[in-house]
């Protein structure tokens, strides 16, 4: 078993480690949704904060940390006059990626696998964060890119996945507003809701782009199985089963007998949904480390190969048959060719003098080879 902090110690914003095994190899990151809170979103009516009160007991000797992320998800932040829509979602995604990367680096846990648990629109934020992280390709961005590379699984709790159905997304956003926003705000400041609803197209674009990377992850789509009272005397699902469960290969689907707000709050180990969620997390914690370790090795190899290719081009060194190399990107890094071991003999060998066998010799013989350049680069970087 590891150590936990008290819920009162949870920071309102950024990353807080709430539980840690001393030999943790996996980071479990919980992300709340609109008008949510890094503590209250996960706290049941009886005061149980399941990330520390229940989950460590289920994990037992599993080597993991539990982190909660807090951000300004108040409707005012999304309803500002500065164009909340795409900018606000993107800024939150950048902040999430950078905050998590810095926390992992400070704790020397930056190669841990990552498991996400996201509620409602927090799932959209996680999607955007992974898309953003995947798009980072420079060497200086490695810590932030590692968030994408290290992600093993995601549990989406009541997140709207609606494809290109604009009307339906608008209805869902309105229901979420009705659920989480105080009625006084709905009546006195309706422009905030209208601004939020204008995010419709942005949220859908995030969902569509996620289809390009979802195969990389283990995914659970979880829907609410109890209706929420949206207005007095009328109950309905905030995010219904069809919206919360994209029909994709290789993913799991199940429901929790609770409404939208309570599906992420577990009063005890016997609470509806807890067994499914906690055992999924425990299984992934045991599966993830060797897989993520392998991905990180491949990522470093791809980065090194890209550096070799760049150095070769600078020196005028080219493959005998460039078409024999795969031009596909590795792990989202452009220009990183995948060269199978069987294809290696087709490359011209490079002598220590820099001359290339079988290729016309230049008037000047280089006194170093590609590997020497890479060694020098690494020495400079270390300084």
Which of the pair, 33 or 266, is modelled with greater confidence?
Answer: 266
Of 346, 294, 308, whose CA–CA distance to 325 is shortest? Answer: 346
DSSP letter at 235 equals E
pLDDT of 74 reads 67
At 307, the pLDDT band (50, 70, 90 cuts) reads confident
Q: What is the pTM of this model?
A: 0.76
How many angstroms separate the CA atoms of 340 and 337, rounded? Answer: 10
How many angstroms separate the CA atoms of 185 and 41, rounded? Answer: 20
Q: Is the pLDDT of residue 241 over 50?
A: yes
What's the distance, Cα to Cα, between the start and end of the chain in Å?
39
How many angstroms separate the CA atoms of 286 and 295, rounded? Answer: 16
Which of 11-15, 96-100, 318-322 is least confident? 318-322
Q: Is the pLDDT of residue 71 over 50?
A: yes
Which of the pair, 177 or 113, is modelled with greater confidence?
Answer: 113
pLDDT of 319 reads 63
How many angstroms separate the CA atoms of 329 and 225, rounded? Answer: 41
pLDDT, one tens digit per residue, over 184-224 is 554 444 443 443 454 566 777 888 899 999 999 999 999 99
Which of 82-96, 234-248, 263-277, 356-370 is least confident? 356-370
Q: Is the pLDDT of residue 129 over 80?
A: yes
pLDDT of 173 reads 66
């Amino acid at each position: 078993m590891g150590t936990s902090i008290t819920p009162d110690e949870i920071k309102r914003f950024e990353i807080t480690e709430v539980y840690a095994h001393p030999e943790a190899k996996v980071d479990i990151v919980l992300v709340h949704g609109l008008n949510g809170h890094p503590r209250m979103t996960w706290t049941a009516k009886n005061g149980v904060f399941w990330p520390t009160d229940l989950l460590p007991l289920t994990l037992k000797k599993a080597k993991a940390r539990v982190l909660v992320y807090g951000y300004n998800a108040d409707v005012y932040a999304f309803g500002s006059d500065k164009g909340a829509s795409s900018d606000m979602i993107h800024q939150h995604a950048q902040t999430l990626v950078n905050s998590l990367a810095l926390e992992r680096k400070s704790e020397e846990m930056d190669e841990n696998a990552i498991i996400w648990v996201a509620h409602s629109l927090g799932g959209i934020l996680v999607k955007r964060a992974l898309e953003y992280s995947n798009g980072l390709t420079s060497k200086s961005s490695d810590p932030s890119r590692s968030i994408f590379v290290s992600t093993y699984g995601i549990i989406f709790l009541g997140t709207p996945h609606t494809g290109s159905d604009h009307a339906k997304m608008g209805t869902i956003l309105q229901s979420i507003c009705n659920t989480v926003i105080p009625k006084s705000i709905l009546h006195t400041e309706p422009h905030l809701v209208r601004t939020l609803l204008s995010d419709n197209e942005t949220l859908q674009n995030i969902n569509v782009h996620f289809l390009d990377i979802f195969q990389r992850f283990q995914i659970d789509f979880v829907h609410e199985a109890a209706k929420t009272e949206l207005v007095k005397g009328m109950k309905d699902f905030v995010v219904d089963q069809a919206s919360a469960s994209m029909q994709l290969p290789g993913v799991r689907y199940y429901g929790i007998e609770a409404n939208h707000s309570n599906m992420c709050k577990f009063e005890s180990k016997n609470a509806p949904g807890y067994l499914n969620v906690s055992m999924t997390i425990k299984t992934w914690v045991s599966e993830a480390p060797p897989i993520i370790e392998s991905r990180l090795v491949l990522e470093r190899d791809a980065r090194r190969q890209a550096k070799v290719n760049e150095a070769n081009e600078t020196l005028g060194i080219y493959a005998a048959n460039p078409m024999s190399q795969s031009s596909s990107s590795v792990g989202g890094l452009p220009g990183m060719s995948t060269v199978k071991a069987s294809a290696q003999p087709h490359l011209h060998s490079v002598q220590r003098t820099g001359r290339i066998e079988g290729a016309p010799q230049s008037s000047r013989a280089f006194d170093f080879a590609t590997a020497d350049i890479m060694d020098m680069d690494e020495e400079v970087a270390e300084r």
